[in-house]
Amino acid sequence: MRRLGNILLWNLLAAVTILGQARPNMKQKLQSNSGLKSDCVGNLMRLSLDKALAVGNQLEVEALNGTKQIVLTPSLAAQCGYSMESDPWGNTRIYTSLMACYVDNEDDTTFNIGLRVKMYSQSPSDVVSHDVTQACSYTRWASREILCDRNFMEVSNVIASGIWKMTFYAPEPVSMVLMEAEQAGYGAMMTSSRLVMRSPYNTAETYSEDVGKTAWHSYFHRVFFSLYKSLYTLYLGGWSPNGSGVLFTEDGISWHVPRRVTPLIDGAFKIIEMHMGINGQRLDKSQMAKLGYTLSTTDFHIIIVIPVGSPDGYFKSHAPDNQYHITYSVEPMLEVLWRADSTQDDTRYKVLFPITTPLMPRPPHFQDSTVPGDRMFIVHVGTFLHDVELMNITFSTGDLTVEESNDRGFTVQEHSFPNGTKSFSLKVPFDTDVVVEHNPELLVTSYFLPLVFGFIILPEGTSFTHPVDVQATLQDVVLPTVTGNCDENLFYISVAYGNQGRNFETMVGPQQLTDDLAKDYRFQENGTHFSLIVPYTAKGIAFEQLTSDSVRARLDVLLFDSINNWVLADLYLACNFPLTTTECYSNGTMTTLAVKVESVPKLIPSLLTLRDESCKPTFSDDRFAYFSFSVDSCGTTRTFFGNYMLYENEIGLYYNNDNKKQNYNKVPKTSTIDPDYKQTISCYYVVNDTRSVAFNYKPGSNEPAAEIGLGQLMVQMKLAHDSSYKLFYKAADFPVAGILRMPLFFEAELIKSTDPQLDLSLENCWATLHEDRLSLPSWDIIVDSCENHDDSYVTLFHPVVSDSRITIPSHVKRFSIKMFTFTQDEAVLKDEIYVHCDAVICDLNSRADGSCGGRCVQTAEENTSRHQGIKGGLDRTLRCIIIQSIFSPILLMTKLASGTMRAMKQQLI
């Protein structure tokens, strides 16, 4: 045969999926363990290549013809009777017709076939070649043999002369001489006894027609040949199914071949033999029964049934539109021998027919094997064919490869099953950042694990994904807890977080715990707890009950979830704190403290008075009112009984007294059931006391006389952090920053004295811009022991009670002012501020007037201010000033020099 067309490589490019495969170095014919195997299957020789040999290589096949090697291009292979098929993993079969070109044919009985297989790896120079020779014997020729292979149809007929001319019907007649037919891609040759015609499926004269309701590749031609100088004609034709006639179910494949193929069979006929096979090899009945194959006939069809999943085929994965599908491919063979009744000629019809099922959807099955109590998600996803690999997993925080997932502690495993499928499992602990937590109920946690599994199909590298969402719910919430206790002055609160961390808000009394409030309450925190120390006089503390020597105060602490409005924990801690509300002095002075209790929520302490309406509080704020008065004033009554004298007064607020309505018109009664506030105060004094004293009068020569003595008394003044007067600024703390109008709490104390008959009074206090106490400008803070009524923000006096630090309350005086700065001609004087005080120490047994009288000695209408200056509140843009205090003991005698507090200039923010 002459060689046709340009030589092209007939390639099989196997997918590079199995790395490091062994490459034989030999270049001669391989032995049985080489991955190459050849055998004879009827009128074909079959050469099989194992995938381990072919994968990753480019395959080239040459026909050996004596000393010549002919490269079998695709077109030459179809013209000359060679075909090849392979699965996606490189398992390859090469079929050679015994009537093919380059086959050594001995009398149409013995056939010697030689092939050379070349495998190219990285470069054309890196080539491994294998020579294969196979001798096949075949004598059971029918009068007419029809072979339908993958890429050609071949018809051979007994004949005894040479070909002269051929006429093709496609379906119109086209005449060609032998050379023209070969140039058109047909194969035509004579053997010792047979005429062989071969037509590739892609030739122009091959056409499609319906035979028995199925579509077939067809060609029909008339051959003119000479015999003994006479001209004869022979009609030849080939019919090969082109894919129709196949029915699919989930479980099986039915291949329907028409029982009568017209005009292949014309007239009456009889089926002599009928066989089925796989991959060109006949199967006997026992093999068919074992594999579940059936071969049957009806009046119109020959039917082959093959179960889907038969080991002679293979499954393949696909992912169209990101959806997982599979197909099943198998190559059955049908061989039928007909005999015509009219001529008794036999026709053997042999078809190799590869079949692939349509795409069958196989959505991955998801199994949630999570046991919530183990706090571990366990997810299984599958099943997949062996050609699917898990590449990555997308978590809520991003993508991780399988290796990265295992490194993070997420166990990823592959599970293989006996039927060749596989699945994948994933384990993820609840307490990782890829798990999303949510609390649908107070004590319940829902754990969400959103996943997207990323897969790849080998060898082609097609990728697809499968999303999975898993959820588990546990009643595992440990709520925070609040505990507390008290001492004589403070609440101590401890909050344990529980297992959700500090994911809650805190209310202390009516106020939310802000950063500023946390500082005031000495907030401390570690990873599991926080603690607070709250003075019982702090804002937000509720006073439940007041007695003569104590107050019952309550601190409410509430922990809540602001998102769901859930109360997580609460504490209502009530304690009794020592508090002397009324003090009776031997000089006829009474002091008393009125406290706003919870049962009178709308009370304004500054509106309280004694029985005498003009006797108003010496000091008051939104919770306290402090009164200081003599027993012969303010409507105090006196009663004698037994050996005692009782002085009694009453603190009250009378809404129903018409004479007093004008004084309270700023605070009208808001409810008819609001109670009048009344607090009775009393002091008992012993009227007479009889004592027996024995003495003997002896006149003396000299009358006794008192000697004048000298001594030192020391007073110091300090600045407190807040109204509790528990913490004080130290010398190293100054200057101290403060916000404009922020209260400043001062305390003056007589120290190093244990005499309870001494009483410390603050006669005058004032502020200056310079350290010199007589410098100008200045502003009065206390005038004659009273607040400066010229000041819009009056000085407030605070009561002093005995406690662990203060044993003699009369030795201590406390007052507070609002932070200010000096202005002059609308300009801010940004200099230092000093606070000075004149203190007076009195003998409580004395009947002296003035500052030693025990109370303020001027009325509100008097104007006795001696210090002049301008004090003003500034715009809010002037946010803070700095205060410094000097704490040095002051030497005191009858009228003491001042203790000094120093304030530095304002800073603009």
d(C-alpha 657, C-alpha 659), whole Å: 5
Q: Could you give the C-alpha distances from 353 to 18, 151, 601, 630, in angstroms and in order?
A: 29, 11, 99, 126
Report the top-level CATH class of 364-474.
mainly beta
Classified as helix, coil or strand, 331 is coil
Q: Which two tokens stand for residue 207?
A: 């056409």
Residues in the chain, pLDDT under 70: 1-34, 52-56, 122-125, 160-172, 174, 204-244, 261-266, 654-676, 688-712, 735-739, 830-832, 846-909
Q: Where are the domains of the chain?
A: 36-139, 142-244, 245-363, 364-474, 481-578, 714-844+881-892
Q: pLDDT, tens digit, for every residue of 737-776?
A: 666 778 889 999 998 888 888 888 888 898 888 888 888 8
755 contact partners, CB below 8 Å, separation of at least 6? none
pLDDT at 236: 52
| Buried/exposed 122-149: b ≥16 CB within 10 Å, e otherwise | eeeeeebbbbbebebebeebbbbbbbbb
Q: Tell me what the pLDDT averaged over the chain comes to.
A: 78
Find the helix or strand (DSSP H, E) in which 188 lies: strand 187-190
pLDDT at 865: 47
Asked if residue 723 lies in contact with residue 798, where contact means CB atoms within 8 angstroms, the answer is yes
pLDDT at 527: 85
Find the helix or strand (DSSP H, E) in which 569 lies: strand 566-578
d(C-alpha 396, C-alpha 876), whole Å: 48
HEC states along 458-477?
CCCCEEEEEEEEEEEEECCC
d(C-alpha 520, C-alpha 722), whole Å: 8
| 481-578 CATH pick, 2.40.30.110, 3.40.50.2300, 2.60.40.3210, 2.40.160.10 | 2.60.40.3210
β-pair type (144-148, 346-352): parallel
List residues bridging with 220 in a β-sheet: 169, 237
Question: pTM for the whole thing?
Answer: 0.60
d(C-alpha 96, C-alpha 43), whole Å: 9
Asked if residue 530 lies in contact with residue 502, where contact means CB atoms within 8 angstroms, the answer is yes
pLDDT at 210: 55
pLDDT at 548: 77
**36-139 and 364-474: identical CATH topology:** yes
Task: Name the residue with tokens 């051929």.
Answer: 166
Count of H helices and E strands in the chain?
6, 71
pLDDT at 698: 46
| 36-139 CATH pick, 1.10.3470, 2.60.40, 1.20.58, 1.10.30 | 2.60.40
Classified as helix, coil or strand, 908 is coil
Q: In the CATH scheme, what is the code of domain 714-844+881-892?
A: 2.60.40.4100
Say if residue 450 is preceded by a cis peptide, omega within 30 of 0.
no
Residue 233: burial class (beta carbons within 10 Å; 0-12, 13-18, 19+): exposed
What is residue 288's DSSP assignment? H
Report the top-level CATH class of 142-244.
mainly beta
